[in-house]
Structure 1
Amino acid sequence: MYNSPRGTRSHALTGPSLLLYGKKTTWSSLALRLQPALVYTTKVQAFHTSVPVFKKKTPAESEAESQKKLESLKDSPKPALYLSLGGLIPFVAVPLTMALQGTYWPQLAFAQVAYGAATASFLGGMRWGFTLPENSPAKPDWLNLANSTVPPLLACQALLFKDVAQGAVMLMLALGIALHYDISLLPTYPRWFKVLRVAGTVVMISSLLATVALKTGPEKSPVF
């Protein structure tokens, strides 16, 4: 029996009426229950689909940063700047000579790796010497002294490879680790020296990569 809300009169629900009543009741209650969820989902979707805003460097900021790096190079002592630039000549001269001749010379490639090994050893020993003065900001502790021996050890390993290309890859690893020590791990050097180190390492590694790339060409022994 069904009690009407307007009175006490009741009537029997037949099969179709009962089925229709159940559908109306179920759909109505389901709609009421889903409405808050739909609203919440819409809000969440609107939140996630919003475009994130990232702070990017403007061209003016990038230009100012580049200008600051150039000023740091200009502020570097002239002997350090000129000697560093001169020390890059053997790195650049080897792949440049082979590229102009159109021939890969393994003897020149090995000479480049040997010179690079000496350079990596120098960069490692420079850290050791930087810790010796009493007023030095870097202390002669395990962190500085032990890390200063890593580039020379890798450079020595680079000379033991029979394949010059493998030695060049090992040498690039040594130069990269030395740069990481000087810039990130042990940041006690002046800014001008850090900028000089980054520029020099980029030139050295690029020259070694060029030599490795030229190995695919015909080989020739230079005549002295």
Structure 2
Amino acid sequence: MFAIIQRCCFHTPFRLQKLAGPRLLLCGKDKTTWSPLGLQQLQRDVCLLSRTSRLKPAVIYATKLQAFHTSLPFFKKKTPAVSEAESQKKPGSLKDSPKPALYLSLAGLFPFVYVPVVMAIKGTYYPELAFAQVTYGAVTASLLGGMRWGFALPENSPAKPDWLNLANSIVPPLFAWQALLLKDITQGAVMIVMALGIALHYDVSLLPTYPRWFKVLRVIGTVVMAASLLATAFLRAVLE
């Protein structure tokens, strides 16, 4: 028993010996005497350190998991803390928008612009490209309509998940679905333009808490998409 205690004593980390404090009495070079109170305190300290060592990997894993779902530091845009009212009064522009939102939105406009440009350069109407454009417009209108659900569902959102907000978000997808059922591409394009206009009205007028840069981005994107769809319909009427 004395050998086990002696081994624990001389192989105990410095932090543990420090915790034992005055309860450890050294007598000679190789003899160590423990008081009962000091032995109980040592057992508690050993349990405390063992729990800390077991919890440390879990803390590290949780930190890594949180970092996995977070953007890298150089992707985060550092903006000064301003109130919601002040952010609404500030003049918004495309320069204020985050780069991922700006670049992805501009890239999403490419399929709309590509179709009428190719038809105008070739001087030929391609019904396959026109149908692909209408289909892509239907998907985009459904996405813009569903964003209202994502905005209204969080607990701290200024928009409540009531009948008005959730039902209005379904209107653009219904228009998009109806556009795909129409056999006439021109009518389908007009239906998509109506769906995009309704989604823009919701985002700009009915949800004023959106950032200013987002509203500017939505207006520019909707104008480009609607103009591209109408240009395709116009080229069909001219080239056919």
* Equivalent-residue separation in structure 2 for 1:200 and 1:75 (angstroms): 16
Q: Which has the higher contact order (CA 8 A, sep 6+)?
A: 1
Q: Which SS does the other structure have where 1:81 is aligned?
A: helix
Q: Report the counterpart of residue 150 of structure 1 in structure 2.
A: 171
Q: For 1:144 and 1:188, how far apart are their aligned partners in 2?
A: 14
8 Å CA contact retained: 2:91, 2:212: no
In structure 2, the residue matched to 1:99 is 120
Partner SS state of residue 216, structure 1: helix
2:103 equivalent among 82, 86, 91: 82
Q: What residue is the counterpart of 1:189 in the other structure?
A: 210
**What are structure 2's unaligned runs of at least 5 residues?**
1-88
Structure 2 counterpart of 1:176 = 197
CA deviation vs aligned residue, 1:29-52 (integer Å, no higher than 9, x gap): xxxxxxxxxxxxxxxxxxxxxxxx
Task: Compute the displacement of 1:70 (Å).
Answer: 8.3
- SS where residue 179 of structure 2 aligns? helix
Give the SS at the match of 2:93: helix
Aligned with 1:134: secondary structure? coil
Matched, 1:198 2:210: no
Distance of aligned partners of 1:83 and 1:149 in 2 relative to their CA distance in 1, 3 Å threshold: same
- Give the C-alpha shift of residue 69 in structure 1: 9.5
Q: Is the 8 A contact 2:92 2:216 kept in 1?
A: no
Q: Which structure 1 segments of 5+ residues have no match?
A: 1-67, 220-224
Whether the 8 Å contact between 1:103 and 1:217 is mirrored in structure 2 is: no
Aligned partner of 1:22 in structure 2 is: none
Give the Cα separation in 2 of the matches to 1:144 and 1:200: 22
- Per the normalisation by structure 2, the TM-score is 0.61
Q: Residue 114 of structure 1 aligns to which amino acid in structure 2?
A: T
Q: Is the 8 A contact 2:179 2:189 kept in 1?
A: yes
Indicate the larger mover: 184-193 or 69-78.
69-78
Amino acid at match of 2:117: L
Equivalent of 1:125 in 143, 146, 150: 146
Give the superposed CA RMSD: 1.6
CA–CA distance in structure 2, aligned partners of residues 123 and 178 of structure 1: 6
- Aligned-pair CA distance for 1:115: 0.1
Q: From the CA coordinates, give the structure whose radius of gyration is larger.
A: 1
Residues 92 and 212, structure 2, Cα contact 8 Å, conserved in 1: no
Separation in 2, partners of 1:200, 1:144: 22
What amino acid is aligned across from residue 102 of structure 1 in structure 2?
G
Q: Deviations over 1:149-196 (max 9, x none)?
A: 000000000000000000000110000011011111222211110000
With over 3 angstroms needed to count, the CA separation of the structure-2 counterparts of 1:69 and 1:200, relative to structure 1, is farther
Structure 2 match to 1:160 = 181
Q: 1:117·1:155 contact (CA, 8 Å) conserved in 2?
A: yes
Q: Is the 8 A contact 1:121 1:152 kept in 2?
A: yes
User: What amino acid does structure 2 have at the position aligned with 1:115?
Assistant: Y
Count of aligned pairs? 152
Find the residue that maps to 2:132 and give its secondary structure.
helix
CA drift of 1:217 comes to 3.8
Structure 2 CA distance for aligned equivalents of residues 110 and 97 of structure 1 = 14
Deviation of 1:73 (Å): 1.1
Runs of 4+ residues deviating >6 angstroms: none
